[in-house]
Amino acid sequence: MARKVLVLNADFRALAVCSVSKAFLLVYLNKAEIVNKAENVFLRTVNQQFDMPSVIRLLNYVNVPYRGVMLSRQNIFKRDNGACVYCGATKELTLDHVIPRSRGGQTTWSNLVTACKRCNSKKGDSLPEEAQMLLPYQPFKPSFVVFLREFSGMGDDSWQPFLTSK
């Protein structure tokens, strides 16, 4: 079960993504309800068949004070589509500080990009312009909803109505 399920809060706002088994358990224990189910795919036991959830909604509201995307190596790779921003390579990926730390560059969403080892070495302690390695876009911090919609790579079309910025 490599599929993922979008979890909505009681007010229908996107809250998280979880495994099918976790989502089914929440529904089975009456903590959530199925909003959308996968087409022509079922969960089967010896003598029963259940709908496979695609989107579920929690029955009780969960207060989440901060819904941001954590700065992590994996999330930078997801934002950059798992490829070097300079040459497009998908092997031996590292993180590159656009403005090197030795020049005062910070470890932030707007200063980190995915780079392969070769390009990272070539750029070294230079700015992209100095190394003649221009960025195809300005690095950015995605919002939670944008991150789920664009970079999670796990959703299906039934998620789209719930992943609009609010």
| Domain limits, the chain | 4-66, 68-153
pLDDT value at residue 151:
67
Quote the CA–CA distance of 55 and 116 in Å, as a whole number: 36
pLDDT value at residue 3:
82
pLDDT value at residue 130:
94
Please list the pLDDT of the chain residue by residue as tens digits (166 residues).
Answer: 478 889 999 999 888 888 899 999 999 999 999 999 988 888 888 999 999 999 999 999 999 877 788 899 999 998 999 999 999 999 999 999 999 999 999 999 999 999 999 999 999 999 999 999 999 999 999 888 777 767 665 567 778 777 765 4
- Cross-strand bridge partners of residue 56: 7, 34
**Is 1.10.30 the CATH classification of the domain at 68-153?**
yes
pLDDT value at residue 83:
96
pLDDT value at residue 115:
97
pLDDT value at residue 67:
72
pLDDT value at residue 152:
62
SS (H, E, C) the chain: CCCEEEEECCCCCEEEEEEHHHHHHHHHCCCEEEEEEEEEEEEECCCCEEEEEEEEEECCCCCCCCCCCCCCHHHHHHHCCCCCCCCCCCCCEEEEECCCHHHCCCCCHHHEEEEEHHHHHHHCCCCCCCCCCCCCCCCCCCCHHHHHHHHCCCCCHHHHHHCCCC
Q: What are the φ and ψ backbone dihedral angles of 4, each rounded to 5 degrees?
A: -120, 160
